[in-house]
Structure 1
């Protein structure tokens, strides 16, 4: 199985999306059709320490309807922002289950699959009225052993959520004093996922020690 297909889906996330899809159907005056029900703009920052890759910081911005639902469920004091306690409830109620699906973050390092089993520094909030999630994926790769290639795709394998990384996305490289690095995005029509055969947005990082 390709890493871009992702692990098998269990009932937790599926139930969450089902309820969300049901809400969309109930609220919409148009006939329901099979398509994503949550829309996410994705961007990433590759973080280096010395000559090593330390990991990837992932940033998601959600569509207005999903953001409204999360705000209503978790902004208990209705102040338009999330306190530290409220961020914890967002993480528990609307993020942690994604561990079962590698947090929609699929990595290869020099051709070998790297399974994402943990994240750090989860944050949730609103910027310009849009709900965002930030989290860090540890993925340490030593840069002293020659040139390395990291392949990254961020997507929902079942396509209940459309996680979009455009080809012209700005890919940030942080703490690059000890490395030579470059990153790019391509839409790869040869690698697809879900029954919709969605083309994969592939982010490629190449780096090595200076």
Structure 2
């Protein structure tokens, strides 16, 4: 595994390596919520990586050597699953909450990837461990608690298999996340005078995260 790919997996599933240098990766997340028989069953997740980080990964994989932005069929085959190496129990940076409780989901599956207009775009599916009744209000957030990756949801989720749903979107505040991160690092250093800022792992939770509230009317 190359150095930058190792950093990618650290960015997605482990604690950050360097303090006061966040975020390192920017990802626009797109979601598609799939309902069946009135219940939410799964969420398809799309991650669009920023152009600079996309280029680093493409280079580390040895793809697109002519730099024309077009991958051959063999290169596309090599690209598949480039970000699928999740640590056991990794939350996928997708958080669903219903009636104040987290909604349990299985690990990511059915990973696909493409290289489009200079960006790496990957998709995967998260299946709910138990179907969620569609008329229960749902809160969705996508964020990295360690703030190594800055996630955003530029578009509202797509809903399939369910009608009469309304969404309330709230855009997060990256400045608040950065401030919370700096405060957490400062507190950790104060607590442990021998700690080195570059090696600290801190958790800022969902500070500054985008969020969507979904409410669907009862069917039948």
Do the two structures share a fold, i.e. TM-score over 0.5?
Answer: yes
1:142-153 mapped onto 2 (5 Å cutoff): 142-143=133-134, 147-153=135-141
Q: What residue is the counterpart of 1:195 in the other structure?
A: 181
User: Going by fraction, where is strand more abundant, 1 or 2?
Assistant: 1
TM-score under structure 2 length normalisation: 0.66
Corresponding position: 1:209 with 2:219: yes
Out of 71-80 and 96-105, give the one that drifted further. Answer: 71-80
The equivalent residue for 1:174 is 160
Structure 1 alignment gaps of length 5 or more:
1-11, 22-31
Indicate the RMSD between aligned Cα atoms, in angstroms. Answer: 3.0
Contact 1:124/1:131 (<8 A) preserved: yes
Which residue pairs with 2:32 in the alignment?
A: 45
SS at match of 2:213: strand
Q: Deviations over 1:100-153 (max 9, x none)?
A: 43011111123211243412221111122211111111122134xxx2111111
Aligned residues: 174
SS in 2 for 1:101: coil
* Rg larger for: 2
Deviations 1:75-103 (A, max 9, x none): 55756255345313x1xxx3323654301
For residues 87 and 114 of structure 2, the distance between their equivalents in structure 1, rounded to whole angstroms, comes to 18
TM-score, structure 1 length as denominator? 0.69
Superposition pairs for residues 85-100 of structure 1, below 5 Å? 85-88=78-81, 90=82, 94-97=83-86, 100=89
Map 1:155-170; keep pairs closer than 5 Å. Answer: 155-166=143-154, 169-170=155-156
Match of residue 108 from structure 2 = 119
Q: For the structure 1 residues 33 and 195, does the alpha-carbon distance in structure 2 shift closer, same or farther, using more than 3 Å as the test? A: closer
User: Structure 2 stretches of 5 or more lacking a match?
Assistant: 1-8, 183-203
